[in-house]
Amino acid sequence: MNYLAHIYLSGDDPLLTIGNFMADGIKGKQYKTYLPQLQKGILLHRSIDSFTDSHPIVKQSTKRLHSKYSHYSGVIVDILYDHFLAKNWKNYATTPLSSYIENFYDSLDEYFELLTPGIQRMIPHMIADNWLLSYAEISGIATVLYNMNRRTKNISGMDRAVEDLQLHYHDFENEFTLFFEELRQFCEQRLLELEDQFHT
């Protein structure tokens, strides 16, 4: 899953959410050097990634792209799934997406000193271009994929994946909807387990 899904699946705790958001930059046992709520977010992130990568519905989505994009197909599906979460946000939350994102940006500002250096450098660009809100539109996803392709020195061809999104739009959306319901339930249980783990 990509940024918006990781943020959403963290629940209401700002520090846990930030831990989940920045977890990719924290390797191995480094997480133990962070505050407990951040640690929970980092561990939740890793659980989400494991659950996602091994799920048959997600594999169905990635298989559709694999012949064109090889190992980048998983990254592309993460981005496409964030599009469907943003587009169908009202099915998952009562707070409007724009307000939800503004609250998250406020949290990043409040806890800026706790963020990893890489995330600190990324934040100004993320807020200036409002990446998270842009996911709701196909044009926003096209921009994300274009920038990801540039980061691979144009090797991945990910910029063309917006064409695959449009071609198989309903298939991807149906797969996301089915998978995300299972992922939400998994995260609810995982958060309870983490609460127990950190209180023992």
**pLDDT given at position 200:** 57
User: Whole-number mean pLDDT of the chain?
Assistant: 95
CA 5, CA 12: separation in Å to the nearest integer?
13
Looking at the predicted structure, is the pLDDT value of residue 182 above 80?
Answer: yes
Sorting pLDDT into bands at 50, 70 and 90, what band is 1? confident
Sorting pLDDT into bands at 50, 70 and 90, what band is 199? confident
Alpha helices in 111-168 (DSSP H): 117-128, 131-134, 138-151, 161-167
Q: Could you read off the pLDDT of 11-55 as tens digits, one per residue?
A: 999 999 999 999 998 999 999 999 999 999 999 999 999 999 999
- Which residue carries 């799920």 as its tokens? 55
Classify 195 as helix, strand or coil: helix
Q: Could you read off the pLDDT of 113-138 as tens digits, one per residue?
A: 999 999 999 999 999 999 999 999 99
Q: What is the span of the domain harbouring residue 170?
A: 3-198
- Neighbouring residues of 17: CB distance < 8 A, sequence distance ≥ 6: 7, 10, 11, 41, 104, 107
CA 48, CA 43: separation in Å to the nearest integer?
9
- Of 168, 131, 124, 161, give the one whose Cα is nearest residue 145: 161
The count of structural domains within the chain is 1
- pTM to 2 decimal places: 0.95
